[in-house]
Structure 1
Amino acid sequence: MQLILISGLSGSGKSVALRSLEDAGFFCVDNLPATMLPEAVALYHDYGYSHIAISVDTRSHQTLGALPQEMDKLRAAGIDIRLIFFEAKQPVLVKRFSETRRSHPLSGMGLSLEECIEMEMELLAPVAEQGIRMDTSELSANTLKSWVRQLVESDSSRLTLMFQSFGFKHGVPLDADFVFDVRCLPNPHYIPELRPLTGKDQAIIDYFAGEPKVAEMIADIQTMLEKWLPEFRQENRSYLTVAIGCTGGQHRSVFIAETLARRFAHEQVLLRHRQLQRAGCD
């Protein structure tokens, strides 16, 4: 049985992710109290379901403290379990709630929307530590669906190394384990004929091939990761996000993320370009 647990901040895309998994053939349950997980999984197993996705969040906040223990019980029973934690920056969440005119699940406590979000972050902090974090601040619904499907299709018994390019002017990804700033490198943006291209285009690849500092930066990042990946494996990490940032997330960071993904092809690798996804270029 494969069990995907969905959790995270209200308005961060949990419902979109759950619908995506339902479309992929998962039996989905929304807002299940954590203490009911073992009983529910046993019941669904008896009914013959082998792929299950369950949302556990602050709508049942009274039981959240039991989630780590319940997950341990399921793993001990041989269940392939993975928790995906969705989050987004506070201004983004406020905007989403304003646009949809939905009330926050904690709004009945007499708090403002901003206070509800802050309280929810505190309540979910221990849960976030248990899962694979996904920052949806800059993601469209289609991109989110695609990234979730890629994640659940990966081998959960192996560490997944995710390279993500981004633009600093759009904010640092909340889900990054390592952030490398490559804004010090030569920028094709200032060459008119290269400006509209991306780090995946051959002209940009040729441009960076003639820049020794770019090769040096890539080699340094590669050396650091090769040194420390064994340590992360010993900690039973299932997911490691390496974010590469330049100014706009179009040229330098994309090229370097692509290059690193090829150099670590012997690992289980996912590759994401946050700003290109947002612009529809990837």
Structure 2
Amino acid sequence: MNENNEPLLDPLVDPHEVHLIVLTGMSGGGKTVALRALEDLEFYCVDNLPSALLPQLVNAVINDDRGKRQRIAVGVDVRNRGTDFAHMPTVLSGLAAAGVQVHLIFLDCRDEVLIKRYSESRRRHPLATRGLSLADAIAEERRLLRPLMAIAEKVIDSSELNVHQLRRLVATGYAQATEGLTLMFQSFAFRRGLPLDADFVFDARCLPNPHWHPHLRPLSGKDAAVREFLDHEPMVGEYYADTVRWLDAWLPRFEQDDRSYMTISIGCTGGRHRSVYLVEKLAAYYRDRREGVLTFHRELE
């Protein structure tokens, strides 16, 4: 019930197995990265939503998709109104009482790391408009967010995590909200070493290299010109088809073994053309056939 004693959810909506993840935490702590990971897991994602609108969002998403999409992620930070932080615990407890699976994740980070990240990115802190120094803005943000940190289901310290590690941590933690095995396809450059978290590694260095074509060199495997070049190379098509056949044959066997997450890494020399192209093509193929498919391009992000 809300403050007017009205039900939070439409009584015609069945909240059973609805997962609502609320992401909050320190600005610069990785909320955008975490939200993107959940979006790749096919959560319906909204950033900077007022807490009072959370029940309406849950109702709208369930009704719009007729119960098919039952995974929602919302970002909340200091850009929200100050009263939101005071009201959020009441709203979340009301949704939980209505049957929604509510998860509150707080992304934390050490102050000195946040200051370094802001210095390197040259971004402005959201509270800088109040005339505060960066250190004072971070201290004020911690004070404002303290009520949410106190009730968080999980606190993730991103101080020592890179983008990919944070993305994987969030995805593995909440892949159970999807059905079956969650796949992470990642591209990388062999010259920078193998990814430490790879379950399987495919080597694409034998394929024709767009790098040797001056007009393609500054582009990546996401660009149309590179895709068109590789689409017309028979060896690339054969490599892709063989990879799909292998994955189609073996992925179900890992699922039968109750595996919930797998990282498939594809490398080439520079990690920008062939590996990126194959990762994007494989991800598109499997997104048409299953839930929970993520991509990460180590040398592009």
TM-score norm. by structure 1 comes to 0.54
Paired with 2:73 and 2:116, the residues of 1 have a C-alpha distance of 27
- TM-superposed CA distance for 1:25, in Å, is 1.0
Matched, 1:151 2:161: no
Matched, 1:141 2:158: no
Paired with 2:133 and 2:99, the residues of 1 have a C-alpha distance of 43
How big is each residue's C-alpha offset from its partner over 1:31-51, in whole Å with a ceiling of 9 and x where there is no partner?
Answer: 111121111111111112311
How big is each residue's C-alpha offset from its partner over 1:180-201, in whole Å with a ceiling of 9 and x where there is no partner?
Answer: xxxxxxxxxxxxxxxxxxxxxx
Paired with 2:90 and 2:103, the residues of 1 have a C-alpha distance of 14
Instruction: Describe the SS at the equivalent of 2:102.
Output: strand
Structure 2 counterpart of 1:41, one-letter code: V
- TM-superposed CA distance for 1:98, in Å, is 1.0
Paired with 2:50 and 2:122, the residues of 1 have a C-alpha distance of 26
Corresponding residue number in structure 2 for 1:241: none
Alignment of 1:197-212 (within 5 A): none
Instruction: Describe the SS at the equivalent of 1:59.
Output: coil
Instruction: Describe the SS at the equivalent of 1:78.
Output: coil
How big is each residue's C-alpha offset from its partner over 1:160-182, in whole Å with a ceiling of 9 and x where there is no partner?
Answer: xxxxxxxxxxxxxxxxxxxxxxx
Corresponding residue number in structure 2 for 1:27: 44
Structure 1 counterpart of 2:35, one-letter code: L
Give the structure with higher Rg (CA).
Answer: 2
Confirm or deny: 8 A CA contact 1:11 1:97 kept in the other structure: yes
Instruction: Describe the SS at the equivalent of 1:42.
Output: helix
Matched, 1:39 2:56: yes
Structure 1 unaligned runs (5+)? Answer: 156-282
Structure 2 counterpart of 1:124, one-letter code: L
- TM-superposed CA distance for 1:61, in Å, is 3.5
Paired with 2:94 and 2:49, the residues of 1 have a C-alpha distance of 16
Paired with 2:143 and 2:128, the residues of 1 have a C-alpha distance of 15
Structure 2 counterpart of 1:55, one-letter code: G
Matched, 1:86 2:107: yes
- TM-superposed CA distance for 1:26, in Å, is 0.8
Paired with 2:155 and 2:75, the residues of 1 have a C-alpha distance of 15
4+ long deviations beyond 6 Å = none
- TM-superposed CA distance for 1:129, in Å, is 1.2
Confirm or deny: 8 A CA contact 2:29 2:109 kept in the other structure: yes
Confirm or deny: 8 A CA contact 2:23 2:74 kept in the other structure: yes
Matched, 1:50 2:50: no
- Residue 105 of structure 1 is aligned with which of 96, 118, 126? 126
Structure 1 counterpart of 2:74, one-letter code: I
- TM-superposed CA distance for 1:153, in Å, is 2.8
Paired with 1:61 and 1:102, the residues of 2 have a C-alpha distance of 21
Paired with 1:147 and 1:38, the residues of 2 have a C-alpha distance of 27
- TM-superposed CA distance for 1:130, in Å, is 1.3
Paired with 1:105 and 1:41, the residues of 2 have a C-alpha distance of 27
- Residue 97 of structure 2 is aligned with which of 69, 76, 87? 76
Corresponding residue number in structure 2 for 1:255: none
TM-score norm. by structure 2 comes to 0.50
Corresponding residue number in structure 2 for 1:12: 29
Confirm or deny: 8 A CA contact 2:34 2:166 kept in the other structure: yes
Structure 2 counterpart of 1:12, one-letter code: G
Confirm or deny: 8 A CA contact 2:41 2:175 kept in the other structure: no
Confirm or deny: 8 A CA contact 1:33 1:64 kept in the other structure: no
Confirm or deny: 8 A CA contact 1:38 1:73 kept in the other structure: no
Instruction: Describe the SS at the equivalent of 1:102.
Output: coil
Corresponding residue number in structure 2 for 1:59: 79
Structure 2 counterpart of 1:89, one-letter code: R
Structure 2 counterpart of 1:115, one-letter code: D
How big is each residue's C-alpha offset from its partner over 1:15-74, in whole Å with a ceiling of 9 and x where there is no partner?
Answer: 000001111111110111112111111111111231111001111042111000000111
